[in-house]
Structure 1
Amino acid sequence: MSEYIIHELIALLFMAVALGMDAFSLSLAMGMQELRLKRIALIGFTIGIFHIMMPFIGILLGKVISGQIGNMTTIAAGLLLVGIGAQMAFSAFQREAKKLIQPFGIGLLVVAFTVSLDSFSIGLSLGISGVKTALALILFGASSMILSWIGMLLGRKVHGFLGKYSEILGGSILLGFGLRLLFG
């Protein structure tokens, strides 16, 4: 029995880190925007909360409906990331251009929602499989929060080296990640 629990814990841990890598990529790009440490803490915490809420909603719905919704969430997340990344990269060439979505207020909620859409899809399948819900949600939230913090802190360091070109790099990362979601 304890061997089964260990195997399930390891599987959930790997799944949590894989889900958190999306948050890491996005956070690396956001960290290049010269964010303060308090903002970085808030963004990571918000992303962690969304990585708890979205799979929880997915688990609940997964018990009720089939997995056909999963593909639509991946497409929506991919399109949002392509749009945000393209706008971020192009705005680096224009001094007066405003960023479309910044990690403040509603923009922070949009960013956290976008990066956690894939965890919703995972939640759908976990709801069908009957996994230990509380453990999965805690691991998903903690790993995405920690990986977000690491990504933003690394992004701050990269921004110091690259200056204004870091926005182009950050936008390219988001654009590429969105395209990867759309086209596999």
Structure 2
Amino acid sequence: MNLSATILLAFGMSMDAFAASIGKGATLHKPKFSEALRTGLIFGVIETLTPLIGWGLGMLATQFVLEWNHWIAFVLLVFLGGRMVLEGIRGNDADDEETPHRHGFWLLVTTAIATSLDAMAVGVGLAFLQVNIVATALAIGCATLIMSTLGMMVGRFIGPMLGKRAEILGGVVLISIGMQILYSHFVG
């Protein structure tokens, strides 16, 4: 795989994390760049690891991974998105001081895992090609770091415009990503 193909793959793999990060940034009370970078690092590290895991699994058990990865991503994203929608509906009367200033580590890790399962599937596919999997995984992780950090900052500006509906919108985005993953699996 040449450099341009690797870069395109890397940024393509980071789009789910970018969309999720916009939602995460919109739900926080004026997130600082340090919080955006923290989110980008968490998403980037996980997005680096998942193609490596997928590559390893591809060497061992291709069929099982390909059969279940879309269902796992779908369930995680719908669960997280549904939780965000419910919290957004319940939190309509909250004032700005109750809006969180940062997301919990495990919530970000779970979201990052859910949005990176497609990278694991790509890793499975890369196991059958002559690619430098470490360089490709690092490229995917760096692109995700950049796009997730950028997404959080975009969400910072969208959040105040959306007000209390930001969390609901973020949840709908996660559910939509999950549905898109499942749809693309069945449609091909």
Asked if TM exceeds 0.5, the reply is: yes
Q: What's the TM-score bracket when you normalise by the shorter of the two chains?
A: 0.7 to 0.9
2:153 is equivalent to residue 158 of structure 1:
no
Question: Cα deviation per residue 1:112-171 (whole Å; 9 max; x = unaligned)?
Answer: 221211111110110111211222012101001101011111111001111111122111
CA distance 1:124–1:170, change in 2 (3 Å): same
CA distance 1:70–1:103, change in 2 (3 Å): farther
Map of 2:21 onto structure 1: 27
Structure 1 unaligned spans of 5+:
1-6
- Corresponding pairs, count: 174
User: In structure 1, what is the Cα distance between the partners aligned to 2:103 and 2:55?
Assistant: 27
Q: 71, 75, 81: which one pairs with 1:75?
A: 71
- TM-score (structure 1 length as normaliser): 0.86
Matched residues, percent identical?
28
Conserved? CA contact 1:29–1:170, under 8 Å: yes
- TM-score (structure 2 length as normaliser): 0.85
Conserved? CA contact 2:57–2:65, under 8 Å: no
Pairwise CA RMSD: 1.9
Could you say which structure has the higher helix fraction? 2
Bigger drift between 167-176 and 151-160 goes to 167-176
Three-state SS of the structure 1 residue aligned to 2:103 is coil
Question: Cα deviation per residue 1:66-119 (whole Å; 9 max; x = unaligned)?
Answer: 24412311211111111211221122121399xxxx831322221222121111
Map of 1:175 onto structure 2: 175
Conserved? CA contact 1:67–1:125, under 8 Å: no
Question: Cα deviation per residue 1:2-35 (whole Å; 9 max; x = unaligned)?
Answer: xxxxx61111111111100011011111111223
